[in-house]
Amino acid sequence: MTGIPARLSIVTLGARDMGALRGFYRTLGWQEMPGADDTWAGFLLGGVLLALAPMGDVTDEAAPGSPQPTGWSGVTLACTVDTRDDVDRVFTAAVAAGATPVAAATDRSWGGRSAFIADPEGNRWEITWGPEAAFDERGALLTWG
């Protein structure tokens, strides 16, 4: 192989409180992988693994010698839903599960609709719908526009 494969396989979130973060994602109804505990947890989401690990461990591996990050990192994760109305429904369900509302659902200039929430660690999630989005049988995004 001469280059980097064009794929996203794992997203790891550093957690200050593993129990709370694991509980939040389970409350969303996401199935935690076998063997999960407060040293590592994972949720398989349409072909991408959302991994959770203690912030200190993530910092030691990915940024040795750096202080642990604080505040929002500028990165957003997205959950693309099937319909425009699903944006509002999923936003409401996520807030009921303990998410912090960041930006209410709104129609966007690019033709879609989205809203933003934050998980208990402040990680930003966009709940989004695009008129051209298509998924495979696992829920993995095939096309966006």
3-state secondary structure at position 141 = strand
Q: Is 92 a residue whose pLDDT tops 80?
A: yes
Cα–Cα nearest to 129, from 101, 87, 94, 92: 87
Q: 88 and 116: one domain?
A: yes
Answer whether residue 14 is part of any domain: yes
Average pLDDT, the chain: 94
Domain extent for 90 = 76-140
Answer whether residue 123 is part of any domain: yes
With cut-offs at 50, 70 and 90, classify the pLDDT of residue 84: very high
- The domain total for the chain is 2
With cut-offs at 50, 70 and 90, classify the pLDDT of residue 105: very high
Q: 57 and 99: one domain?
A: no
Residue 69 CB partners (closer than 8 Å, separation 6+):
14, 55, 59
Q: Is 41 a residue whose pLDDT tops 80?
A: yes
Q: Is 1 a residue whose pLDDT tops 70?
A: no
Q: Is 117 a residue whose pLDDT tops 90?
A: yes
Predicted confidence at residue 118, as pLDDT, reads 96
Answer whether residue 87 is part of any domain: yes
Predicted confidence at residue 119, as pLDDT, reads 96
Tokens linked to 75: 């990165």
Q: Calculate what percentage of the chain has a pLDDT beyond 90.
A: 87
Predicted confidence at residue 25, as pLDDT, reads 98
